[in-house]
Amino acid sequence: MAYSIPLFNLNFDEREALAAYDTIQSGWISTGPKNEELEKMFVDMWHVGYAVSVTNCTAALHICCIVCDLGPGDEVLVPSLTFAASVNCIRYAGATPVFCDIIGPEHINIDPKEIEKKITHKTKAIVVVHMAGFPAQMDEIMAISRKHNLKVIEDACHGPLSEYKDRKLGTIGDCAAFSFFSNKNISTGEGGMFITNNEEMAKKARLLRSHGMTTMSYQRASGHATTYDILELGYNYRMDDIRAAIAIEQLKKLPTDLETRIKVRQRYVENLSKVKGVVVPFADNKEFVSNYIMPVVLAEGDASYRDAIRDKIHVAGIQTSVHYPAVHRFSIYKGFCAELPQTDFVTDHEITLPMYAALTMDQVDSVCSVLESVIK
């Protein structure tokens, strides 16, 4: 079905095409100088010590778990209202995910009180997901982590350049992961970034990214090394220079794109505050955020009612989505018992509306008008 107002709009133009073309013309397309340039941009823009480019956010999350020394017998606290990769990475490392509830429809991030309640002698880390690019309650979470000597991994794939009390998301915990998937704020199709302020974690991440090798092909081809050793059981998590070149152009556009998204969200919040039966998560947020998606939560009904609402919105030519089906409900996680009433409510009542910088105010008004009329 072709939508007159799609959920997402790819922010590409001739700059991305030219960047990819120039990289191909350079003769070096695997991990090399463009990856180094992209990593340097992350270090500078995030004011963080180290950045390591990888194939995708899942790889970055997996590396986060390894450098935090997670393994069999360890428990890791994690929200269920997230994409499955946030949880899968814990199991890749051999550890056990323990699901924590969210605060509620008004704040759909992990609840610090839930974290405190579910800590055991086996708990070793917390995975924090900054939903829609809005910060979790990091002061409380970091205080809990210090009290119980827990590592904190930030899944910041929704929040490039989002802030929490003047700090960039991803720079508050021990390490963090970002995504360059096709519908993210920074888009390369596939790709991701690991960041940290811990030098030892960064060194290990760089080894793990490329088979545990002490040098990479580009270093040897450019004469900076002639041989290598293998120090870790690593992976092939390298990102190629073609995607890195595209990511560089995307990163240049990002600040302006985010400023425009703020105006789009403001229009949404203004309109939806008048619509009975709709809750806008993070409506009171005052931080600078990425506004990756525009989630709303229906106050009434059930999942079938929500789905019927979505179907009628689609008939009007407006695309929607759901973020997310709760992970603890998937067949593979049914053995990980969890009582998550707030998560269950939101996952059955959430609708993701179109969000991107190219949305006009008239289009936002149209989306809100259709939603209101369908609910009535």
Tokens of 131: 């939903």
The arithmetic mean of pLDDT across residues 266-285, rounded, is 97
Is the domain of 62 the same as that of 199? yes
The arithmetic mean of pLDDT across residues 330-344, rounded, is 95
Among 250, 274, 302, the domain boundary falls at 250
Is the domain of 80 the same as that of 160? yes
Provide the pairing of β-strand 123-129 with 151-155. parallel
Containing domain of residue 80, as a range? 14-250
The arithmetic mean of pLDDT across residues 246-269, rounded, is 98
CATH of the domain at 274: 3.90.1150.10
Among 228, 250, 272, the domain boundary falls at 250
CATH of the domain at 84: 3.40.640.10
Is the domain of 266 the same as that of 204? no
The arithmetic mean of pLDDT across residues 26-43, rounded, is 96
Is the domain of 239 the same as that of 263? no
The arithmetic mean of pLDDT across residues 286-291, rounded, is 97
pTM of the model: 0.96
Is the domain of 227 the same as that of 290? no
Is the domain of 198 the same as that of 312? no
User: What span, in angstroms and rounded, lies between the C-alpha atoms of 128 and 107?
Assistant: 14
User: pLDDT tens-digit profile of 348-376?
Assistant: 999 999 999 999 999 999 999 999 999 99
4 occurs within a structural domain: no
CA 184 to chain centre: 8
The arithmetic mean of pLDDT across residues 181-196, rounded, is 98
Domain count, the chain: 2
User: What span, in angstroms and rounded, lies between the C-alpha atoms of 286 and 343?
Assistant: 24
pLDDT at residue 251 is higher than 70: yes
- Does residue 21 have a cis bond before it (omega within 30 degrees)? no
178 occurs within a structural domain: yes
62 occurs within a structural domain: yes
8 occurs within a structural domain: no
Among 250, 280, 305, the domain boundary falls at 250
Provide the pairing of β-strand 175-179 with 167-168. unpaired
Is the domain of 287 the same as that of 356? yes
274 occurs within a structural domain: yes
The mean predicted confidence, pLDDT, of the chain is 96
Is the domain of 348 the same as that of 362? yes
296 occurs within a structural domain: yes
The DSSP secondary structure of 330-341, one letter per residue, reads SGGGTTS----H
